[in-house]
A and B are shown apart, each in its own frame.
Chain A
Amino acid sequence: EIQLQQSGPELVKPGASVKVSCKASGYAFTSYNMYWVKQSHGKSLEWIGYIDPYNGGTSYNQKFKGKATLTVDKSSSTAYMHLNSLTSEDSAVYYCAFKFAYWGQGTLVTVSA
């Protein structure tokens, strides 16, 4: 069974950073780009970028360059998204996905003092 298991909810202070993980199982991890998507206010969706787990190559939405950094650990079939300099605008649910067919359960990031 294909699964993407994301890390748990995060409550972080403004200006801090957070790292969200996405552990893949049930398929060849290095064969598919891993996408990251932001869902704000329970509705609007934004594509953050993707990473090629095979070679670490990335493509980012210009809006998230400098905000998000995507990495992978092939040895554990885990993708990571690091978000820095957090503000209230970064409070959202973040999802990993591949092929837009398979999605993680989402990670709620709340930025609050």
Chain B
Amino acid sequence: DILMTQSPSSMSVSLGDTVSITCHASQGISSNIGWLQQKPGKSFKGLIYHGTNLEDGVPSRFSGSGSGADYSLTISSLESEDFADYYCVQYAQFPWTFGGGTKLEIK
């Protein structure tokens, strides 16, 4: 199975900050990666697919980048609604696997 190592596990940040979350895959995944947001007690929302593409309705302050085995989600100018948990998921190879998550907290 492909191991997705996500970091950091948590971040304490301020409104207006720019943050980056990374996922390192145990092998190359050719941009077959998505990023998900989960707010406390809620379900998930897809943010990014195929490494760099924004899902419909996702604000442009979210962006994805990377190649090979290393990928990042960047959130610019953090807003209050962005404080949530974030996960990466690879779908390059079965079984699809997830990162361990990153919790964004308000400083």
Residues of A near any B CB (own CB < 8 A)? 43-47, 59, 61-63, 95, 97, 99-106
Contacts and interface: CB of A to CB of B under 8 A. Distances in A.
Nearest to B95: A61
Contacts, number: 47
Given A100-B49, A100-B89, A101-B49, 12 more contacts: A43-B85, A47-B89, A47-B95, A47-B96, A47-B98, A95-B43, A95-B44, A97-B44, A99-B49, A101-B45, A101-B55, A106-B43
Nearest to B87: A45
What are the 4 tightest A-B residue pairs by CB atom distance, in nearest-first order?
A: A101-B46, A61-B95, A45-B98, A47-B96
Contact of B95 (A62, A95, A99, A105): A62
Interface in B26-81: 34, 36, 43-46, 49, 55-56
Nearest to A61: B95
A45 B101 CA distance: 9
Contacts of B49: 99-101
Given A100-B46, A101-B46, A106-B43, A61 B94 contact: yes
A53 B21 CA distance: 34
Interface in B82-102: 85, 87, 89, 91, 94-98, 100-101
B95 A102 contact: no
Given A95-B43, A95-B44, A106-B43, A100 B98 contact: no
A44 B100 contact: yes
Contacts of B36: 100
Given A43-B100, A44-B100, A105-B43, A100 B95 contact: no
B50 to A, nearest CB: 11
